[in-house]
Amino acid sequence: MTSPDPTRLVTAAVPFVGLTGGLAAGKSTALGILAELGVPVLSTDAVVHELYLGEELRRIVVDRWGREVAPDGVVDRQAIAGVVFGDPDERRWLEEQIWPRVGERVWAFRQDAQQRDPAPPAAVVETPLLFEAGMADAYDATIAVIAPEALRAERAAARGHAAVDERNSRHLTQQEKAERATYVVVNDGSLRDLRGRLGSILDDLRNPVR
């Protein structure tokens, strides 16, 4: 874990923290461990999934692209991806529908965390494109989870993915994420190791450098 930048640490009663990291580095695993440590957590990917299951977003995308993107009344995310892939205008339109709604959920989540008694050590939102989308300033601190390339490739293969390649995607590289984050967690050991590293970050957030 790198040392925190004192100029970027928090003053809020409940630190609001953005979690991101490299593909197959273990972001979701880290989020689960933080929940076990008593931290309220939210995954923006999960919020997007819920939105796609809802009637409002289904109606919006069907009005735009036709019923073929929601056969049997269920949004087909693969079909949506096929429409927006390679078409910046359509992708931008879709993001304009999704992200304000995600933002509303994130805001409500933060307000709920701030009102909890006793106050939790932090409130953490997993946002894969946190830096890429320019959202870092919305958080009191950020955590980047990274892992050695060989280990990431192994994890990706276990999920049925042939490779991990951020260069040809919208994702920053692991190094770029690490350079921008308040904290960096290297997920190269056991779950116990990861838990200990995340616990150390929570300790720092409880006692910010002034």
- CA atoms within a 13 Å half-sphere pointing along the CA-CB vector of 187: 28
Mean pLDDT of 168-192: 90
Query: Could you tell me where in the chain the CATH 3.40.50.300 domains are found?
Result: 1-40+120-210, 46-115
d(C-alpha 50, C-alpha 44), whole Å = 10
Nearest residue to 60 (alpha-carbon basis) of 102, 106, 93: 93
Q: Global pTM?
A: 0.85
pLDDT band at 98 (very low <50, low <70, confident <90, very high): very high
Give pLDDT, residue 7. 42
What average pLDDT does the chain have?
89
CA dihedral 132, 120, 209, 5 (to 10 degrees): -10
Q: Which CATH class is domain 1-40+120-210?
A: alpha beta
CA distances from 54 to 60, 76, 186 (A): 11, 13, 36
The CATH code of the domain at 46-115 is: 3.40.50.300
Residue labelled with tokens 């960096």: 184
Give pLDDT, residue 11. 44
Nearest residue to 84 (alpha-carbon basis) of 94, 76, 99: 94
pLDDT band at 158 (very low <50, low <70, confident <90, very high): confident
160 pLDDT more than 50: yes
67 pLDDT more than 50: yes
